[in-house]
């Protein structure tokens, strides 16, 4: 392993480079701080362009076009999206969930209503979504209001999930603290035995769908020299969108 020693004023620095990353242990008389530098990790984007002339007038149609292109090249879970929520006080949290439907009404996903995200959405029904397709050098950002889907819609989707996924929804009280993994594994084993002879598994009342109704969608296409293309759609009424270019 190659190392480099540098002296910067009162600090004594040791650093290692590995695949573009730099690890440093910086020490002085009072403290030692470990730092992983990623300064050398970079690439140029040059796969495509996005203009006001080649984008759709409807952002939902534009999103569907990009999602289908991600599916064509067989990206792993192209429907994965970061869901950001916030408490009323403005403390944010984010996690990756899976998009299960997109339409003019919005973007639908399913989860436990009693989870942290469910609690935050109950208190503050606004959310942001981000899709990132690195292989296409694209991302989509979405902001909007959130409401629960109907019980009928949640029931219909729950019934087509794999049996083990339905049992998992019953076994897990999402975001609750567990003393050990064995607790949930034991609960899952009990449910598998209980429902061994049937496929009729009830949807728990605390599980269902959410729909993010978008007010803003931004499509980002990576370009050379960090001069990326950014096209933003802002809803002006229930039927129309204002389209504009943003500086990268």
- Catalytic sites, residue numbers: 226
Question: At 95, which helix (H) or strand (E)?
Answer: strand 92-98
At residue 172, the 3 state secondary structure works out as coil
Helices (H), 86-218: 116-123, 151-160, 163-171, 181-194
DSSP structure class, residue 183: H
Tokens of 87: 């408490």
Closest Cα to residue 64, out of 47, 81, 79, 50?
79
∠ CA 115-77-211, rounded to 5°: 45
Q: What is the CA radius of gyration of the chain?
A: 23
């Amino acid at each position: 392993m190659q190392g480099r020693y540098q002296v910067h004023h009162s600090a004594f620095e040791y650093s290692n480079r590995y695949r573009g990353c730099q690890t440093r242990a910086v020490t002085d008389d009072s403290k030692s701080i470990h730092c992983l530098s990623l300064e050398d990790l970079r690439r140029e984007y040059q796969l495509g362009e996005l203009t006001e002339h080649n984008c759709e007038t409807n952002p939902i149609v534009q999103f569907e076009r990009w999602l289908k292109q991600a599916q064509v090249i067989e990206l792993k879970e192209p429907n994965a999206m970061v869901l950001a929520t916030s408490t009323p006080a403005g403390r944010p949290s984010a996690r990756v969930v899976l998009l299960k439907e997109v339409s003019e009404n919005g973007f639908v996903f399913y989860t436990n209503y009693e989870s942290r995200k469910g609690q935050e959405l109950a208190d503050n029904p606004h959310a942001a979504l981000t899709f990132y397709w690195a292989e296409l050098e694209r991302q989509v950002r979405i902001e909007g209001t959130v409401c629960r889907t109907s019980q009928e819609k949640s029931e219909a989707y729950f019934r087509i999930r794999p049996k083990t996924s339905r049992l998992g929804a019953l076994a897990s009280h999402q975001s609750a603290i567990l003393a050990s993994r064995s607790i949930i594994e034991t609960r899952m084993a009990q449910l598998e035995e209980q429902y061994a002879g049937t496929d009729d598994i009830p949807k728990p009342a605390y599980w269902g769908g959410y729909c993010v109704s978008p007010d803003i969608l931004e499509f980002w296409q990576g370009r050379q020299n960090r001069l990326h293309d950014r096209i933003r759609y802002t809803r002006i009424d229930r039927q129309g969108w204002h389209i504009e270019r943003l500086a990268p």
